[in-house]
Amino acid sequence: MIRKAQIADVKDIQKLLMTFASRGDMLSRSLSELYESLRDFYVAEDSGVLIGAAALHIVWEDLAEVRSVAVMEEAGRKGVGSRLVQACITEAREIGLKRIFCLTYKPDFFAKHGFQLVDKAELPHKVWGDCIKCPKFPDCDENAMILDL
């Protein structure tokens, strides 16, 4: 089941994200950041257990980022990540956004959802706010991708 995140989900979201952040696959998120951005998040659960998360973070009037997409490894390859990303895309359309971007190490996954590779320089400078927290900054090796809605 995919649903909007609730306060009770925050610690489980952080635990899930830290699994991937500890390997350098995504940025870690503090509890404070997660509580502040809770309304951005969707979660996937199975039998009451949180197995995935993704967020749609609005950056500007016409642009949002799909970020923090993570699915427990034992729940992987079952379409959970795709359903989470689709929930973000659906919401973006519903609220009138024109474009969504992501920074990812999994371009093939996002390409299946219509995202296209772009040069990072095409993204507005405002999107780099989180990058300062990244241990790889300024030598980002993620792929920038955009979906025009």
Domains and CATH numbers, the chain: 2-148 (3.40.630.30)
Closest listed residue to residue 106, CA positions, set 25, 34, 50? 25
**pLDDT of 14 over the 60 cut:** yes
H/E segment holding residue 88: helix 80-94
- Whole-number percent of the chain with pLDDT over 90: 73
Q: How confident is the model at residue 142 (pLDDT cuts 50, 70, 90)?
A: confident
How far is residue 54's CA from residue 120's CA, in Å, rounded to a whole number?
21
How far is residue 118's CA from residue 106's CA, in Å, rounded to a whole number?
14
Average pLDDT over residues 16-27: 91
**pLDDT of 47 over the 60 cut:** yes
pTM of the model as a whole: 0.90
Q: How confident is the model at residue 90 (pLDDT cuts 50, 70, 90)?
A: very high
pLDDT digits (tens, 9 = 90+) for 102-116: 999 999 999 999 999
How far is residue 68's CA from residue 55's CA, in Å, rounded to a whole number?
6
H/E segment holding residue 119: none
What is the tally of helices (H) and strands (E) in the chain? 4, 7
CA atoms within 13 A on the CB side of 113: 24
**Predicted pLDDT of residue 137:** 57
